[in-house]
Each structure stands twice: as structure tokens, then as C-alpha cells.
């Protein structure tokens, strides 16, 4: 193209196409002063070094910042492509050369990154953006561009990349499972995670649904925790059962953290396999439970030993006092009879013999109770519960106590249907009724009434022996049924007793897995209750 033709073309562009006053500056490339003003204004606005190339006159203009960037003295070196290329790193010169060639034909801006290398070995990274204007025939009129020293950004980028690689290496080698979950699918999982799930290839895990490692019974809790993180909570930690990809369960500590992945919401998951810890905790718990059982067992044995000691003391107390006393009375009465037999009338002799008989019967009953009690304590008494009618047992006991009831003019009222049944050991139940009815007789006033009733409730049979006798206070009630508590209250006819009968009742009832208790107030009589479980 001739210069005159180019000049004419530029004029046409000015007159016909350009309306922007700034574009007019480009339309007069021969005016160097205007070009410099343009460069100065551009540098101020963009904080960049600029160059301008007039293709018609082959005129290249550099801003002062380019000389500074290239570290060239503007007084010694002019603005030329060859001078510029000398500073470009040899390995990157082709990048710059290709860009200059493309400027002659490309209608789009060109952006390139390359290095400058200086004599002392220093390196600068340059970002250059350039473009060209063309006439109506497609010939380049002018080219212009900016260069920016991006060394600092490149170093930061390389440092960031290095840190990123280090972080990725750290994540990959971290002993816990670390994964990114998005839309309930694995987007990333580290090596430890793959080993934990027993999957060798990351490709086998990527895209896998999270439900594959969550057993059905754990999903509700996981969904709740995951929702709390995605809707606002930054992170949450919890323990749950998880599945390996082979279907085997393991105990896991799960931490969910809200994050983003590729610009979209995601959840970072950190999982620790705590199966061994759980087993250790269970071992400790089992050990503690065993220790507690040992403590309880020792305590029970200690209490049992105390009971045995108290039982022994009670046994010797009965032998020393309760059993010795009636024998002394019998001997005294016999001595009196032997010495004064001739002096007594028949009625007096009969009275003494009656007293001796009473003491002998009382002693025999005490011996029977002692024998039964010793069998209970040694575990030699047979226990054979069976389903049976209750009234025959009560009738048998009342017949044996008929004379005592007659002497006190007491009425025994059995308010139990003849067909009523109970599940119990016959001998033990007989002993229980004999002792409880005897106790009611002992503390009943003459012409009193003793009532026996029974009913079934909640798979239990409850029996009540009630009298309208002298009753007892709360202190006496508290001491009943305990071997270590001395209860010795004379009956209404000054009857004596050891208290062993009620203790026997309690032991026999406990052998039936039942219980015994009393309701009483002084002067208002007493009600003895005992309950036995029905036959299963």
C-alpha cells in the first residue's frame, strides 16, 4: 500500500465511520505528540505500560514504563521489536513472534504470557494484551497493546499451586476419610477413605450415592444432621453405624462441614473408624459392670454373713432363754408335785399337771419351729409348690387350735370360697397359717373374732388374717419379720413367745417369691397380709 493511499483511507475512516473523539487521536498516527498524550492518558487510567505501532509508517512508540519494565535506557535504546525480543526469555520468544504475526490478520484481541530474562539471571513474567485496527481492505493500520509485570502474581500463583499440591497431598495421606459430598454423591474421596470403604479405585467411588455406606436404620439420623449443616449450621459431629462397600458395618465418628465445590453448595465429610475404640469402651463397660456385680456380690455376702451371725445369735438366744425357760417351769412344777403331792388335792394336782402340759406343748411347738427354721437356713427343707384348694389347709390348722380358741372364746371366721385355690408348698403354707392364726389368738381379747379372707389380683393371691385385738405401734411393726430385732410382747392371757414364728412365715413366703406385711394400730387390732404369685 502506498502512503498516499493509506492517508486517504485513514481520512475516510475519520469522516465516515468514527464518531468517538478519542478515536480521532488514532486517526492521526503521524502526530507523535498526540500519540504520546494518548499513551500517557491510557497509562494513568489503566496503570499499565503501552506501546503503539503505526503500520503505515512502521512507527513503534513505547511508553516510559516499557523501558522501565525492560530495564533499558531510553537514551541508548530506541523502541524496536528487536530490542524487545532481546530481553524476552529464549524459550518464550516464539510466543512473542507469533503474536506479532497474528496482529497483522487477527480481528480479535490477543493475550499472551511470557518471561523476560535479564543478564543477572532474574526473571520477570509479562502479561501482554494487544489488538489491531484494519482498513476496509483488511490491511492493518495500527496495532497497540499493554504489558504488565505479573511476576508477583505468578509467584503467588506458583506458591498457591505449591500449597494446593501440598494440601492435596496432606488430604490424600490423612488417616481419616475425607470426602466432598454434593447432591448426595461422592465428588472426591481420599486414599484413607477408599481403604476404609474397601474400594481401591477413586473412579469406583466418585459419583457413588452416599446411601450406599449408610445402613437403613442410620439414614434418618444422617439426613437430620446433613440438613442441619446445609440449612445453616457450620458443622456437626456425631457417631453412627456405617457400611463398607462390601456390606460390613463399622462404628464411625462423622463430621459434616458446610462448604462449596465448583461454585455450588456441598458438604465436606470427615469420618474416623472408631470400631476399636467402641470395642474398648464396651470392654471397659463390661469390666465396670463385672466390678459392680462383684461389689454387689461382696456386699450381699457381707449382709448374708451378718444375717448368719445374727441368726446364730438368735438361735443361741432361743436355746438359752426361750427353750430353757419352759423346761425350768416344768422342772419346778414337777418338784412341787413330788415334794407336796400328798398335801395337794386332786384338783390342785390336776392344775399343776395342766400347767406342765402347757409348757411342754409350748416347748414342743418351739422345737418344731426351730427345726423348720434350721432347715430353711441350711437349705435342706424341700420346696414343692402345687396348685391346691386353700380351705382344707385352714380347716386343718383351725382344728389343731380349736382348744386354744375355745379357752379364749374366740370365733374364727373363714370367708374364703371352698373352691378357692392357691399355688404353694403344702407344709410351708400350713406352717404360715398356724403361726399367723396363733399370733392372732395370742393378741386377741376374749370373745374376739379372727377373720381369714383371700382374693386374686394381678396374677397374685393375697390372703388377710385380721383380728380385733390389742394391735401394735409403728415401732413394733418395724421390728417384725427381722431376726436381729427382739420382739417380745405378752399376749392378752400373758402368753409367751420367741417371735420365731413370724420370722418363719417371712422366710417361707420369700421362698415362694411373695411378700408379707402388716397393718395395725394400738387398740384397733391387726391385719397380716401375705401375697404369693399364681402358677405360671
In a domain, 377, yes or no: no
CB 500 within 8 A of CB 484: no
Instruction: State percent of the chain over pLDDT 90.
Output: 36
Q: Check whether residue 287 and residue 393 sit in a common domain.
A: no
Q: Check whether residue 135 and residue 30 sit in a common domain.
A: yes
Q: Check whether residue 289 and residue 245 sit in a common domain.
A: no
In a domain, 330, yes or no: yes
Q: Check whether residue 425 and residue 503 sit in a common domain.
A: yes
In a domain, 374, yes or no: no
CATH number of the domain that residue 283 is part of: 1.10.287.130
Residues whose CB is less than 8 angstroms from the CB of residue 257 and which lie 6 or more positions away in sequence, other chains included? 229, 234, 235, 267, 268, 269, 270
Q: Check whether residue 422 and residue 492 sit in a common domain.
A: yes
Distance CA 13, CA 29 (A): 13
* Of 84, 88, 82, nearest in space to 63 by CA: 84
Q: Check whether residue 386 and residue 501 sit in a common domain.
A: yes
Q: Check whether residue 403 and residue 528 sit in a common domain.
A: yes
* Of 453, 462, 450, nearest in space to 402 by CA: 450
Using alpha carbons only, give the angle 335, 339, 343 rounded to the nearest 5 degrees: 125
The predicted-structure confidence for 107-133, as pLDDT tens digits, reads as follows 999 999 999 999 999 999 999 999 999
In a domain, 164, yes or no: no
Across 372-383, b (16+ Cβ under 10 Å) vs e yields: bbeebbeeebee
Distance CA 187, CA 270 (A): 14
User: Which cell is 95 given?
Assistant: 510466543
Helix (H, G, I), strand (E, B) or coil at 62: strand
In a domain, 126, yes or no: yes
In a domain, 312, yes or no: yes
Distance CA 439, CA 434 (A): 8
In a domain, 165, yes or no: no
The predicted-structure confidence for 146-158, as pLDDT tens digits, reads as follows 999 999 889 888 8
Q: Check whether residue 438 and residue 508 sit in a common domain.
A: yes
| Chosen domain end from 369, 404, 437 | 369
Q: Check whether residue 7 and residue 148 sit in a common domain.
A: yes
In a domain, 503, yes or no: yes
Residue 386: the pLDDT is 93
CB 531 within 8 A of CB 515: yes
Q: Check whether residue 108 and residue 19 sit in a common domain.
A: yes
The mean predicted confidence, pLDDT, of the chain is 83
Q: Check whether residue 517 and residue 439 sit in a common domain.
A: yes
Instruction: State percent of the chain over pLDDT 70.
Output: 85
- The dihedrals phi and psi of 388, each to the nearest 5 degrees, come to -155, 160
Confidence class for position 318, pLDDT limits 50, 70, 90: low
Residue 175: the pLDDT is 86
Question: Which residues form the domain of 346?
Answer: 278-369
Helix (H, G, I), strand (E, B) or coil at 473: coil
* 320, pLDDT greater than 70: no
Confidence class for position 317, pLDDT limits 50, 70, 90: low
| Chosen domain end from 273, 305, 331 | 273
Mean pLDDT confidence for 398-402: 85
Cα 194 to Cα 180, 205, 505, distances in angstroms = 13, 8, 70
The predicted-structure confidence for 331-352, as pLDDT tens digits, reads as follows 877 888 788 877 888 888 788 7
3-class secondary structure per residue, 264-320? EEEEEEEEEECHHHHHHHHHHHHHHHHHHHHHHHHHHHHHHHHHHHHHHHHHHHHHH
CATH number of the domain that residue 242 is part of: 3.30.450.20
* 26, pLDDT greater than 90: no
Name the least confident of 339-353, 420-434, 521-535.
339-353
Q: How many domains does the chain have?
A: 4
Q: Which of 1-10, 327-336, 346-355 has the highest mean pLDDT?
A: 346-355
Length of the chain: 536
Q: Check whether residue 232 and residue 296 sit in a common domain.
A: no
Mean pLDDT confidence for 477-487: 75
Amino acid at each position: 500500500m502506498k502512503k498516499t493511499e493509506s492517508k486517504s483511507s485513514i481520512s475516510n475512516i475519520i469522516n465516515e465511520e468514527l464518531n468517538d473523539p478519542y478515536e480521532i487521536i488514532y486517526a492521526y498516527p503521524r502526530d507523535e505528540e498526540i500519540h504520546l498524550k494518548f499513551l500517557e492518558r491510557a497509562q494513568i487510567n489503566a496503570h499499565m505500560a503501552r506501546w503503539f505501532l503505526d503500520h503505515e509508517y512502521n512507527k513503534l512508540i513505547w511508553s516510559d514504563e516499557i523501558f522501565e519494565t525492560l530495564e533499558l535506557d531510553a537514551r541508548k535504546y530506541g523502541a524496536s521489536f528487536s530490542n524487545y525480543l532481546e530481553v524476552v526469555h529464549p524459550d518464550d520468544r516464539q510466543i512473542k513472534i507469533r503474536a506479532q504475526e497474528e496482529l497483522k490478520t487477527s480481528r480479535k484481541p490477543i493475550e499472551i504470557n511470557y518471561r523476560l530474562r535479564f543478564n543477572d539471571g532474574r526473571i520477570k513474567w509479562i502479561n501482554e494484551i494487544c489488538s489491531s485496527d484494519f482498513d476496509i481492505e483488511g490491511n492493518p493500520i495500527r496495532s497497540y497493546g499493554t504489558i504488565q509485570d505479573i511476576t508477583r502474581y505468578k509467584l503467588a500463583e506458583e506458591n498457591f499451586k505449591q500449597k494446593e499440591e501440598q494440601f492435596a497431598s496432606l488430604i490424600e495421606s490423612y488417616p481419616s476419610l475425607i470426602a466432598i459430598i454434593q447432591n448426595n454423591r461422592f465428588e472426591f474421596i481420599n486414599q484413607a477413605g477408599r481403604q476404609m470403604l474397601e474400594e481401591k479405585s477413586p473412579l469406583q467411588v466418585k459419583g457413588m450415592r452416599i446411601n450406599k455406606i449408610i445402613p437403613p436404620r442410620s439414614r434418618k439420623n444422617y439426613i437430620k444432621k446433613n440438613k442441619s449443616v446445609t440449612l445453616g449450621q457450620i458443622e456437626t459431629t456425631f457417631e453412627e453405624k456405617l457400611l463398607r462397600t462390601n456390606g460390613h458395618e463399622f462404628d464411625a465418628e462423622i463430621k459434616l462441614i458446610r462448604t462449596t465445590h465448583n461454585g455450588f453448595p456441598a458438604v465436606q465429610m470427615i469420618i474416623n473408624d472408631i470400631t476399636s475404640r467402641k470395642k474398648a469402651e464396651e470392654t471397659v463397660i463390661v469390666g465396670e459392670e463385672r466390678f459392680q456385680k462383684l461389689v454387689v456380690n461382696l456386699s450381699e455376702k457381707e449382709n448374708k454373713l451378718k444375717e448368719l451371725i445374727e441368726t446364730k445369735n438368735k438361735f443361741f438366744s432361743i436355746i438359752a432363754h426361750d427353750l430353757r425357760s419352759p423346761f425350768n417351769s416344768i422342772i419346778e412344777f414337777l418338784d412341787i408335785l413330788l415334794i407336796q403331792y400328798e398335801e395337794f388335792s386332786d384338783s390342785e394336782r390336776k392344775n399343776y399337771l395342766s400347767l406342765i402340759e402347757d409348757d411342754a406343748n409350748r416347748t414342743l411347738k418351739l422345737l418344731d419351729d426351730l427345726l423348720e427354721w434350721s432347715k430353711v437356713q441350711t437349705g435342706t427343707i424341700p420346696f414343692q409348690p402345687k396348685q391346691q384348694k386353700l380351705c382344707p389347709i385352714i380347716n386343718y390348722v383351725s382344728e389343731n387350735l380349736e382348744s386354744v380358741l375355745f379357752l379364749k372364746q374366740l370365733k374364727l371366721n373363714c370367708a374364703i370360697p371352698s373352691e378357692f385355690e392357691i399355688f404353694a408348698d403344702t407344709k410351708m403354707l400350713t406352717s404360715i397359717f398356724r403361726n399367723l392364726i396363733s399370733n392372732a389368738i395370742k393378741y386377741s381379747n376374749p370373745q374376739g373374732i379372727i377373720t381369714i379372707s383371700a382374693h386374686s389380683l394381678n396374677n397374685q393371691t393375697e390372703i388377710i388374717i385380721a383380728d380385733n385385738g390389742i394391735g401394735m405401734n409403728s415401732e413394733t411393726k418395724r421390728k417384725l419379720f427381722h431376726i436381729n430385732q427382739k420382739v417380745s410382747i405378752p399376749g392378752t392371757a400373758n402368753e409367751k413367745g420367741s417371735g420365731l414364728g413370724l420370722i418363719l412365715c417371712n422366710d417361707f413366703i420369700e421362698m415362694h417369691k411373695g411378700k408379707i406385711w402388716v397393718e395395725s394400730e394400738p387398740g384397733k387390732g391387726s391385719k397380716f397380709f401375705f401375697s404369693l404369685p399364681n402358677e405360671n
